[in-house]
């Protein structure tokens, strides 16, 4: 079987060449026909070429397979892949593959100081600024794709990173609690109190 050209990864753009988030995934691939269209593009980004006779022309037949204009063979875009003759809907395959590859976690440290940070992809590079909700200055335009940590960094992640550098932060690092500064003033009820200045600044007055 001939090996098709894969679209070079460096040319691909989230939101344009592949889904950038879960909502994209559902919108792009509502049914198996949409999945087959996408697989066809993946497999033959420069147009169909028969893997047997190498001729470029083909007709699509009713069951979603192709009829080669050169050798008249019938073939499927999934032939030679793990999707071939699968009874599982392609939409399910796609969703499973998406779940396995979109969000990811990076690992840092070693031994008892090993920790991970989970990320989600922020695609749709080249979006415009928010001109509706912004107060004065507009924000939000980012001309490139990037990843954002799913959560704020936690105390235990910060403690393990610090330990790895040979620095002890002291105190207890609560698993899951956000990494924030220490409280200067604690009320009788154990609640951290804001100074008037802090309260004013944080309420924007």
Partner 1 sequence: MNYLNTSTAHAKAYNLNAGATALTLWTPSDAGNDATNLYRNKNAYYFLPSENESYKAAYYDPNKAGGAGYWLYATGSNAIPTAVASGTAQGTAVYGGGTVVAPAAVDASGGLSPYLTMGQSGNVYAWQENALDGVNDVSSALRAIRGGYWGNSELVLRSSFHSSADPSNPNDFLLGFRVASVPEPSSVAASLLGVGVLMARRRRR
Residue from 97, 105, 116, 172 touching partner 1 (CB under 8 A): that is: 97
Rounded to an integer, what distance in angstroms lies between the CA atom of residue 36 and that of residue 75? 13
Kindly indicate which of the ranges 55-63, 66-74, 129-137 contains the residues binding partner 1, using the contact rule CB under 8 A: 129-137
Nearer to partner 1, 72 or 201 (CB): 201
Rounded to an integer, what distance in angstroms lies between the CA atom of residue 92 and that of residue 72? 31
Indicate whether 69 belongs to the interface with partner 1 (CB under 8 A): no
Least distance from C-beta 121 to partner 1, angstroms?
Answer: 6
C-alpha distances (whole Å) from 129 to each of 21, 132, 134, 140, 142 are: 19, 9, 9, 5, 8
Indicate whether 10 belongs to the interface with partner 1 (CB under 8 A): yes
Residues 17-46 that bind partner 1 (CB under 8 A): 17-24, 27, 38-39, 42-43
Phi, psi angle pair for 107, to nearest 5°: -105, 140
Least distance from C-beta 152 to partner 1, angstroms?
Answer: 4
Closest of 196, 18, 191 to residue 94, by C-alpha = 18
Rounded to an integer, what distance in angstroms lies between the CA atom of residue 115 and that of residue 109? 6
Residues 177-196 that bind partner 1 (CB under 8 A): 177-184, 189, 191-192, 194
Indicate whether 145 belongs to the interface with partner 1 (CB under 8 A): yes
Kindly indicate which of the ranges 59-67, 68-76, 119-127 contains the residues binding partner 1, using the contact rule CB under 8 A: 119-127
Element (H, E) at 66: strand 66-68
């Amino acid at each position: 079987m001939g090996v098709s050209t894969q679209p070079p990864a460096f040319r691909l753009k989230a939101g344009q060449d592949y889904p950038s988030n879960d909502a994209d995934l559902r919108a792009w691939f509502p049914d198996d026909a949409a999945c087959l269209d996408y697989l066809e593009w993946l497999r033959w980004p420069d147009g169909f070429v028969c893997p047997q006779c190498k001729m470029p022309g083909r007709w699509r037949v009713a069951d979603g397979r192709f009829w080669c204009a050169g050798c008249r063979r019938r073939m499927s875009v999934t032939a030679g892949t793990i999707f071939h003759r699968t009874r599982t809907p392609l939409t399910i395959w796609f969703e499973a593959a998406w779940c396995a590859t979109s969000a990811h976690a990076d690992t840092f440290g070693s031994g008892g100081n090993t920790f991970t940070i989970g990320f989600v992809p922020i695609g749709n590079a080249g979006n415009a600024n928010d001109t509706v909700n912004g107060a004065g200055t507009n924000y939000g335009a980012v001309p490139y794709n990037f990843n954002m940590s799913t959560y704020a960094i936690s105390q235990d992640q910060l403690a393990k990173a610090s330990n790895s550098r040979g620095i002890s932060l002291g105190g207890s690092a609560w698993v899951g609690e956000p990494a924030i500064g220490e409280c200067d003033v604690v009320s009788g009820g154990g609640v951290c109190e804001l100074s008037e200045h802090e309260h004013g600044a944080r309420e924007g007055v």
